[in-house]
Amino acid sequence: MPSPHVRLPLSMPSRRRFLAAGAGAAAALGLASVPARAAGGTRPFGRYGAPDRRLTPLTLYVDPYGRGDFTSVQAAVTAATGSGRTLVIAPGTYRETVVLDATRTEATWIGASEDPRDVVIVFDRAGGTPKPGGGTYGTTGSATTTLQADGFTARWITFANDWLRADHPDITGTQAVAVKVQGDRSAFSHCRFLGHQDTLYADSMALTAFARQYYAHCYVEGDVDFVFGRATAVYDHCHFRTLNRTDLAAAPYGFVFAPSTAAANPRGYLVTRGRVSSEAPDGFYKLARPWVPGSDPTAHPMLTVRDTFLGAGIDAVAPYTNMSDAYPWQNQRFAEYRNTGPGAEITDPAARPQLTDEQAESATRAAYLGDWTPWREGC
Protein backbone atom coordinates (compact mmCIF):
# COMPACT_ATOMS: atom_id res chain seq x y z
CA MET A 1 0.00 0.00 0.00
CA PRO A 2 1.26 3.53 -0.53
CA SER A 3 3.05 4.85 2.53
CA PRO A 4 4.16 8.44 2.15
CA HIS A 5 7.10 8.26 4.50
CA VAL A 6 9.40 5.89 6.40
CA ARG A 7 11.48 5.10 3.33
CA LEU A 8 15.03 5.06 4.67
CA PRO A 9 17.15 1.90 4.77
CA LEU A 10 16.63 -0.29 7.80
CA SER A 11 19.42 -1.99 9.71
CA MET A 12 18.25 -4.83 11.91
CA PRO A 13 18.70 -8.59 12.41
CA SER A 14 18.14 -10.55 9.22
CA ARG A 15 14.62 -11.84 8.70
CA ARG A 16 16.17 -14.90 7.10
CA ARG A 17 17.98 -15.74 10.34
CA PHE A 18 14.76 -15.30 12.29
CA LEU A 19 12.88 -17.61 9.94
CA ALA A 20 15.42 -20.31 10.67
CA ALA A 21 15.10 -19.92 14.42
CA GLY A 22 14.06 -23.04 16.24
CA ALA A 23 12.58 -23.62 19.67
CA GLY A 24 14.62 -20.77 21.15
CA ALA A 25 12.41 -18.24 19.36
CA ALA A 26 9.21 -19.70 20.77
CA ALA A 27 8.93 -17.36 23.73
CA ALA A 28 9.26 -14.26 21.54
CA LEU A 29 6.58 -15.62 19.24
CA GLY A 30 4.14 -16.45 21.97
CA LEU A 31 4.15 -20.08 20.86
CA ALA A 32 4.62 -23.30 22.73
CA SER A 33 8.17 -24.60 22.86
CA VAL A 34 7.95 -27.53 20.45
CA PRO A 35 11.15 -28.89 18.90
CA ALA A 36 11.30 -28.60 15.13
CA ARG A 37 10.82 -31.92 13.35
CA ALA A 38 13.86 -33.26 11.59
CA ALA A 39 13.76 -32.89 7.83
CA GLY A 40 14.86 -36.51 7.42
CA GLY A 41 12.14 -37.98 9.61
CA THR A 42 10.41 -41.16 8.53
CA ARG A 43 6.94 -39.59 8.82
CA PRO A 44 7.18 -36.11 7.27
CA PHE A 45 3.39 -35.79 7.17
CA GLY A 46 2.79 -36.75 10.79
CA ARG A 47 -0.72 -37.95 11.48
CA TYR A 48 -2.02 -36.75 8.12
CA GLY A 49 -1.27 -39.82 6.04
CA ALA A 50 1.09 -40.01 3.07
CA PRO A 51 0.87 -40.51 -0.70
CA ASP A 52 0.38 -44.25 -0.19
CA ARG A 53 -2.29 -43.77 2.49
CA ARG A 54 -4.15 -40.59 1.65
CA LEU A 55 -6.59 -39.04 4.07
CA THR A 56 -8.98 -38.57 1.13
CA PRO A 57 -8.69 -38.79 -2.66
CA LEU A 58 -8.61 -34.98 -2.71
CA THR A 59 -5.50 -34.75 -0.50
CA LEU A 60 -2.07 -33.94 -1.93
CA TYR A 61 1.26 -34.06 -0.11
CA VAL A 62 4.09 -31.53 -0.40
CA ASP A 63 7.65 -32.24 0.77
CA PRO A 64 10.85 -30.48 -0.33
CA TYR A 65 12.80 -33.76 -0.12
CA GLY A 66 10.67 -35.66 -2.62
CA ARG A 67 8.64 -37.82 -0.24
CA GLY A 68 5.32 -36.33 -1.30
CA ASP A 69 3.42 -35.75 -4.52
CA PHE A 70 5.18 -32.41 -5.11
CA THR A 71 8.27 -30.59 -3.87
CA SER A 72 6.77 -27.08 -4.10
CA VAL A 73 3.55 -25.58 -2.83
CA GLN A 74 2.73 -23.88 -6.14
CA ALA A 75 3.09 -27.15 -8.05
CA ALA A 76 0.60 -28.77 -5.69
CA VAL A 77 -1.79 -25.80 -5.96
CA THR A 78 -1.64 -25.98 -9.76
CA ALA A 79 -2.51 -29.68 -9.67
CA ALA A 80 -5.28 -29.23 -7.09
CA THR A 81 -7.99 -28.02 -9.43
CA GLY A 82 -11.61 -27.64 -8.46
CA SER A 83 -13.03 -27.38 -4.96
CA GLY A 84 -12.32 -29.01 -1.61
CA ARG A 85 -8.65 -29.93 -2.09
CA THR A 86 -6.30 -30.37 0.88
CA LEU A 87 -2.54 -29.83 0.88
CA VAL A 88 -0.55 -31.46 3.67
CA ILE A 89 2.80 -29.66 3.77
CA ALA A 90 5.84 -31.31 5.36
CA PRO A 91 8.43 -29.35 7.38
CA GLY A 92 10.68 -27.24 5.20
CA THR A 93 11.33 -23.76 3.85
CA TYR A 94 9.52 -23.26 0.56
CA ARG A 95 11.19 -20.33 -1.19
CA GLU A 96 8.66 -19.46 -3.86
CA THR A 97 5.70 -17.29 -4.70
CA VAL A 98 2.30 -18.97 -4.52
CA VAL A 99 -1.06 -17.97 -6.03
CA LEU A 100 -4.32 -19.72 -5.17
CA ASP A 101 -6.75 -18.39 -7.76
CA ALA A 102 -10.47 -17.87 -7.26
CA THR A 103 -11.45 -21.15 -8.92
CA ARG A 104 -9.80 -23.33 -6.27
CA THR A 105 -12.42 -22.90 -3.56
CA GLU A 106 -12.72 -24.56 -0.15
CA ALA A 107 -9.00 -25.36 -0.06
CA THR A 108 -7.22 -26.40 3.14
CA TRP A 109 -3.48 -26.18 3.79
CA ILE A 110 -2.09 -28.01 6.81
CA GLY A 111 1.39 -27.73 8.29
CA ALA A 112 2.01 -31.41 8.97
CA SER A 113 4.10 -30.98 12.14
CA GLU A 114 1.44 -28.77 13.76
CA ASP A 115 4.16 -26.23 14.57
CA PRO A 116 4.14 -23.15 12.31
CA ARG A 117 7.90 -22.68 12.72
CA ASP A 118 8.48 -25.85 10.72
CA VAL A 119 6.57 -24.99 7.53
CA VAL A 120 7.63 -21.67 6.00
CA ILE A 121 6.48 -20.23 2.67
CA VAL A 122 8.78 -17.29 1.96
CA PHE A 123 10.06 -15.09 -0.83
CA ASP A 124 12.19 -11.95 -1.16
CA ARG A 125 10.38 -9.23 -3.15
CA ALA A 126 9.22 -5.66 -2.59
CA GLY A 127 6.84 -3.32 -4.35
CA GLY A 128 9.78 -1.46 -5.84
CA THR A 129 11.63 -4.57 -7.04
CA PRO A 130 12.20 -4.28 -10.81
CA LYS A 131 10.25 -6.72 -12.97
CA PRO A 132 12.12 -8.59 -15.71
CA GLY A 133 9.98 -6.99 -18.41
CA GLY A 134 10.19 -3.50 -17.00
CA GLY A 135 8.41 -1.60 -14.26
CA THR A 136 8.10 -2.76 -10.67
CA TYR A 137 5.91 -5.28 -8.88
CA GLY A 138 3.90 -2.87 -6.75
CA THR A 139 2.38 -3.73 -3.41
CA THR A 140 0.15 -6.56 -4.64
CA GLY A 141 2.87 -8.03 -6.83
CA SER A 142 5.28 -8.14 -3.89
CA ALA A 143 3.19 -10.78 -2.09
CA THR A 144 4.85 -14.09 -1.36
CA THR A 145 1.44 -15.79 -1.21
CA THR A 146 -1.81 -14.59 -2.81
CA LEU A 147 -5.06 -16.27 -1.75
CA GLN A 148 -8.09 -15.37 -3.85
CA ALA A 149 -10.42 -18.34 -3.42
CA ASP A 150 -13.40 -18.43 -1.06
CA GLY A 151 -13.44 -20.91 1.79
CA PHE A 152 -9.67 -21.11 2.34
CA THR A 153 -8.28 -22.55 5.59
CA ALA A 154 -4.67 -22.67 6.81
CA ARG A 155 -3.29 -24.21 9.99
CA TRP A 156 0.26 -24.20 11.43
CA ILE A 157 1.98 -22.40 8.54
CA THR A 158 4.36 -19.43 8.42
CA PHE A 159 3.80 -16.94 5.60
CA ALA A 160 6.79 -14.60 5.22
CA ASN A 161 8.49 -12.00 3.07
CA ASP A 162 12.16 -11.64 4.01
CA TRP A 163 12.93 -8.64 1.79
CA LEU A 164 14.99 -6.14 3.82
CA ARG A 165 15.39 -2.42 3.23
CA ALA A 166 19.01 -2.55 4.34
CA ASP A 167 19.81 -4.96 1.51
CA HIS A 168 18.28 -2.68 -1.13
CA PRO A 169 19.01 1.00 -0.33
CA ASP A 170 18.26 1.93 -3.95
CA ILE A 171 14.62 0.77 -3.76
CA THR A 172 12.04 3.22 -2.39
CA GLY A 173 8.96 1.01 -2.83
CA THR A 174 9.56 -0.90 0.40
CA GLN A 175 6.17 -2.59 0.72
CA ALA A 176 6.83 -6.35 1.01
CA VAL A 177 3.69 -8.42 1.56
CA ALA A 178 3.91 -11.86 3.15
CA VAL A 179 0.35 -12.82 2.22
CA LYS A 180 -2.53 -11.12 0.43
CA VAL A 181 -5.89 -12.65 1.36
CA GLN A 182 -8.91 -11.76 -0.79
CA GLY A 183 -11.42 -14.59 -0.52
CA ASP A 184 -14.55 -14.71 1.61
CA ARG A 185 -14.53 -17.16 4.54
CA SER A 186 -10.72 -17.28 4.81
CA ALA A 187 -9.57 -18.76 8.13
CA PHE A 188 -6.12 -19.03 9.70
CA SER A 189 -5.34 -20.89 12.89
CA HIS A 190 -1.95 -20.93 14.67
CA CYS A 191 -0.19 -19.28 11.71
CA ARG A 192 2.67 -16.78 11.62
CA PHE A 193 2.92 -13.77 9.31
CA LEU A 194 6.46 -12.32 9.14
CA GLY A 195 7.65 -9.21 7.36
CA HIS A 196 8.31 -5.51 7.84
CA GLN A 197 6.10 -3.16 5.81
CA ASP A 198 2.64 -4.41 4.76
CA THR A 199 3.07 -7.92 6.16
CA LEU A 200 -0.57 -9.07 6.20
CA TYR A 201 -2.81 -7.71 3.43
CA ALA A 202 -6.35 -8.62 4.55
CA ASP A 203 -8.34 -7.48 1.54
CA SER A 204 -11.10 -8.51 -0.88
CA MET A 205 -11.47 -9.22 -4.59
CA ALA A 206 -13.35 -5.96 -5.31
CA LEU A 207 -14.58 -2.79 -3.62
CA THR A 208 -18.07 -4.23 -3.48
CA ALA A 209 -16.95 -7.61 -2.11
CA PHE A 210 -17.08 -7.76 1.69
CA ALA A 211 -14.69 -10.65 2.27
CA ARG A 212 -14.87 -12.17 5.77
CA GLN A 213 -11.63 -13.41 7.34
CA TYR A 214 -10.83 -15.01 10.69
CA TYR A 215 -7.40 -15.20 12.32
CA ALA A 216 -7.18 -17.24 15.53
CA HIS A 217 -4.12 -17.65 17.76
CA CYS A 218 -1.87 -16.15 15.08
CA TYR A 219 1.35 -14.13 15.32
CA VAL A 220 1.95 -11.08 13.09
CA GLU A 221 5.01 -8.83 13.07
CA GLY A 222 6.20 -5.82 11.16
CA ASP A 223 6.72 -2.06 11.27
CA VAL A 224 4.78 0.08 8.75
CA ASP A 225 1.04 -0.62 8.30
CA PHE A 226 1.73 -4.29 8.77
CA VAL A 227 -1.94 -5.31 9.02
CA PHE A 228 -3.89 -3.50 6.30
CA GLY A 229 -6.66 -3.73 3.70
CA ARG A 230 -10.44 -3.59 3.29
CA ALA A 231 -11.58 -7.03 4.48
CA THR A 232 -14.01 -7.69 7.29
CA ALA A 233 -11.43 -9.39 9.49
CA VAL A 234 -11.54 -10.72 13.04
CA TYR A 235 -8.25 -11.21 14.89
CA ASP A 236 -9.05 -13.48 17.83
CA HIS A 237 -6.37 -14.16 20.47
CA CYS A 238 -3.65 -12.90 18.10
CA HIS A 239 -0.23 -11.48 18.99
CA PHE A 240 1.04 -8.43 17.07
CA ARG A 241 4.70 -7.49 17.51
CA THR A 242 6.29 -4.23 16.37
CA LEU A 243 9.91 -4.39 15.28
CA ASN A 244 12.82 -2.22 16.31
CA ARG A 245 14.45 0.19 13.88
CA THR A 246 17.86 1.81 13.86
CA ASP A 247 17.47 4.13 10.86
CA LEU A 248 15.01 6.52 12.53
CA ALA A 249 15.98 8.89 15.31
CA ALA A 250 12.47 9.63 16.54
CA ALA A 251 8.99 8.22 16.76
CA PRO A 252 6.90 6.98 15.15
CA TYR A 253 8.66 3.90 13.88
CA GLY A 254 5.45 2.62 12.32
CA PHE A 255 1.80 1.66 12.62
CA VAL A 256 0.20 -1.66 13.47
CA PHE A 257 -3.11 -1.37 11.59
CA ALA A 258 -4.10 0.51 8.43
CA PRO A 259 -7.66 -0.49 7.49
CA SER A 260 -9.22 0.73 4.24
CA THR A 261 -12.80 -0.42 4.82
CA ALA A 262 -15.28 0.48 2.09
CA ALA A 263 -17.85 3.05 3.20
CA ALA A 264 -20.71 0.63 2.44
CA ASN A 265 -19.20 -2.11 4.60
CA PRO A 266 -20.59 -2.05 8.16
CA ARG A 267 -17.72 -4.17 9.49
CA GLY A 268 -13.98 -3.60 9.19
CA TYR A 269 -11.23 -4.93 11.47
CA LEU A 270 -11.99 -6.35 14.92
CA VAL A 271 -9.15 -7.20 17.29
CA THR A 272 -10.34 -9.13 20.32
CA ARG A 273 -8.59 -10.82 23.24
CA GLY A 274 -5.16 -10.19 21.73
CA ARG A 275 -1.93 -8.46 22.64
CA VAL A 276 0.51 -6.02 21.11
CA SER A 277 4.16 -6.21 22.13
CA SER A 278 7.24 -4.41 20.86
CA GLU A 279 10.98 -4.66 20.32
CA ALA A 280 11.11 -0.87 19.98
CA PRO A 281 11.41 1.81 22.68
CA ASP A 282 8.30 2.70 24.65
CA GLY A 283 5.77 4.82 22.80
CA PHE A 284 7.44 4.57 19.40
CA TYR A 285 4.51 2.96 17.57
CA LYS A 286 1.03 4.13 16.71
CA LEU A 287 -1.78 1.64 17.03
CA ALA A 288 -3.35 2.61 13.70
CA ARG A 289 -3.82 5.09 10.91
CA PRO A 290 -6.59 5.07 8.28
CA TRP A 291 -5.77 4.17 4.72
CA VAL A 292 -7.94 5.84 2.08
CA PRO A 293 -6.44 4.49 -1.16
CA GLY A 294 -6.54 6.30 -4.45
CA SER A 295 -8.67 3.46 -5.85
CA ASP A 296 -11.39 4.22 -3.28
CA PRO A 297 -11.35 7.83 -2.07
CA THR A 298 -14.72 7.22 -0.37
CA ALA A 299 -13.30 4.56 1.96
CA HIS A 300 -14.32 4.84 5.62
CA PRO A 301 -11.73 2.81 7.55
CA MET A 302 -12.98 0.83 10.55
CA LEU A 303 -11.01 -0.67 13.43
CA THR A 304 -12.15 -1.82 16.86
CA VAL A 305 -9.64 -3.08 19.41
CA ARG A 306 -11.20 -4.63 22.48
CA ASP A 307 -10.19 -6.72 25.50
CA THR A 308 -6.60 -6.56 24.28
CA PHE A 309 -3.31 -5.96 26.09
CA LEU A 310 -1.42 -3.03 24.57
CA GLY A 311 2.22 -2.99 25.58
CA ALA A 312 4.40 0.01 26.26
CA GLY A 313 5.50 0.20 22.62
CA ILE A 314 2.18 1.85 21.73
CA ASP A 315 1.96 5.62 22.11
CA ALA A 316 -0.77 5.85 24.76
CA VAL A 317 -1.12 9.63 24.51
CA ALA A 318 -1.75 9.67 20.74
CA PRO A 319 -2.27 6.11 19.48
CA TYR A 320 -3.82 7.19 16.17
CA THR A 321 -2.52 9.43 13.40
CA ASN A 322 -3.33 10.41 9.84
CA MET A 323 -1.90 8.84 6.72
CA SER A 324 -3.21 11.86 4.82
CA ASP A 325 -4.45 15.05 6.44
CA ALA A 326 -7.29 15.04 3.91
CA TYR A 327 -8.71 12.02 5.78
CA PRO A 328 -8.27 12.68 9.52
CA TRP A 329 -8.45 9.64 11.75
CA GLN A 330 -11.10 11.35 13.89
CA ASN A 331 -13.53 11.07 10.96
CA GLN A 332 -13.04 7.32 10.64
CA ARG A 333 -14.57 4.40 12.54
CA PHE A 334 -11.90 3.82 15.18
CA ALA A 335 -12.81 2.61 18.67
CA GLU A 336 -11.55 0.70 21.71
CA TYR A 337 -13.14 -1.18 24.56
CA ARG A 338 -11.74 -2.44 27.85
CA ASN A 339 -8.13 -2.68 26.72
CA THR A 340 -5.36 -3.07 29.28
CA GLY A 341 -1.63 -2.45 29.56
CA PRO A 342 0.54 0.68 29.49
CA GLY A 343 -0.29 1.35 25.85
CA ALA A 344 -4.00 1.45 26.67
CA GLU A 345 -3.84 4.15 29.34
CA ILE A 346 -6.35 6.92 28.65
CA THR A 347 -4.83 10.33 29.31
CA ASP A 348 -6.88 12.23 26.73
CA PRO A 349 -10.37 10.77 26.12
CA ALA A 350 -10.62 12.61 22.79
CA ALA A 351 -7.58 10.69 21.54
CA ARG A 352 -9.04 7.29 22.46
CA PRO A 353 -12.69 6.85 21.39
CA GLN A 354 -14.34 4.14 23.48
CA LEU A 355 -17.34 1.94 22.78
CA THR A 356 -20.20 1.98 25.25
CA ASP A 357 -21.25 -1.33 26.77
CA GLU A 358 -24.23 -1.39 24.44
CA GLN A 359 -22.09 -0.75 21.36
CA ALA A 360 -19.67 -3.46 22.45
CA GLU A 361 -22.44 -6.05 22.18
CA SER A 362 -22.21 -5.63 18.41
CA ALA A 363 -18.41 -5.77 18.33
CA THR A 364 -18.03 -9.55 18.46
CA ARG A 365 -16.77 -12.20 16.09
CA ALA A 366 -20.33 -13.51 15.66
CA ALA A 367 -21.65 -10.07 14.71
CA TYR A 368 -18.80 -9.51 12.25
CA LEU A 369 -18.85 -12.92 10.56
CA GLY A 370 -22.59 -13.64 10.55
CA ASP A 371 -23.60 -17.15 9.55
CA TRP A 372 -19.96 -18.23 9.18
CA THR A 373 -18.59 -19.66 12.47
CA PRO A 374 -15.04 -20.92 11.80
CA TRP A 375 -14.23 -21.21 15.53
CA ARG A 376 -16.69 -24.12 15.61
CA GLU A 377 -14.97 -25.78 12.66
CA GLY A 378 -11.47 -26.20 14.05
CA CYS A 379 -10.13 -22.65 13.71
**Which residue numbers are catalytic?**
198, 225
d(CA 66, CA 77): 16
Which candidate, 189, 108, 122, places its Cα nearest to that of 152?
Answer: 108
DSSP string, 268-279: -EEEES-EEEES
Nearest alpha carbon to residue 107 among 71, 73, 139, 68: 73
Residue 357 CA, distance from chain mean position: 29
Q: In which order are the strands placed within the sheet that holds 219-222?
A: 92-95, 119-123, 158-161, 192-194, 219-222, 239-242, 275-278, 309-310
Q: What is the CA radius of gyration of the chain?
A: 20
Give the other-Cβ count within 10 Å of 40's Cβ. Answer: 8
**How many other CB atoms sit within 10 Å of the CB of residue 347?**
9
Helix and strand totals (H; E) in the chain: 6, 25
Spatial distance between the Cα atoms of 317 and 315, rounded to a whole number of angstroms = 6
* Helix intervals (H) in the chain: 15-19, 26-29, 73-79, 138-141, 357-360, 365-369
